[in-house]
Structure 1
Amino acid sequence: MKRMQHSWGRYAVRVLAASVAALLLAGCASADGKREVRRESFPYWEKGAGASQAVKFMRVQVPKGAVEVKGAVRVQPQERVYLLSFLTDEKAAEAVADDLRPEHPLEAKNFSSSLSDDGFAHLDLDLPHEIPDVRSTSVCPPCVGDKRRSHIQGIEMHIEDRADGRARVYLTAY
């Protein structure tokens, strides 16, 4: 008798598991019974996202009088990468850099961009790592105690100084 109860219990568990699996599969089916699987191919560019989303995420101020303000958001499997670029005067570009509180001063150096890769090409801009004498720095906002940007893991900044006293600023954050 005890053995029969034990078998019956195993049978009930199997029936329950099969019922739950059927319900879960039914939730994945469309009204006509065909199973729908939606997969995004990564990375992709978020439609409609631009400079205003990047500014809001990075909590930076685009300097008054800046032109050619461009931005985009690249969606990756684990995170979003925000790109922002604008053309301003050199002093204003330096002020943006100071506001980020970078761990190292801006300096011209060879670098390999882990964040922006070819993202700025999406904005029809030169790639920062291909610009001669571009100055670069990076910051980990939580590491430097920047409470305004504690939600950001890292920001990379590049400044292209131009002969006319203006500078193109490139910012990438995630």
Structure 2
Amino acid sequence: MRALLFALVAFAAGYATAIATNPQPVDQIAQSSARDGGPQQVASNARSSGREVFLTDARGHVEATADIDGRGMAVLVDTGASAVVLRESDARRAGHRPHRSDFTVPVNTANGQAFFAPIVLRSVELGSIRVRNVQALVARDEDLSANLLGMSFLSQLESFRFEGQELILEN
């Protein structure tokens, strides 16, 4: 878990550097930094109703199943990650096949520096919430153990907040 958290902080720094082309050192950047309807099942620890999705913190992190470009995928909802990040195998399932030369975004991970590929997701849905044209990154499977649903999705919502052990997303 510590390796994943370290990778998330490092990823946030690398992504911010690549997207904003900010000349600050990576460690400084890391430190500065629907549809209406009835209830829907999002994951075993989540529920959705109308414009809100309620996710329960399970074992120290928030897990959910998101529909990404038409494919259901397990994700960790991470307010500390700058972007949505997909493992390469899951990105392929959603129709994204970056070429080897597309892996240009430098990211410092627990295993050293890696390069991720920037993409744009047509649609990310979580329960009754849908966001279109979401900036994301693709990581090689060996560089990331789980898909991340970060701020490139969350910042497009009306709001998100923690209440006790629940993360509430509103669109």
Tell whether the structures are fold-level matches, with TM greater than 0.5: no
Higher strand share: 2
Which of 1 and 2 has greater Rg? 1
Higher helix share: 1
The two structures have a TM-score, normalised by structure 1, of 0.32
The two structures have a TM-score, normalised by structure 2, of 0.32
Q: Which has the higher contact order (CA 8 A, sep 6+)?
A: 2
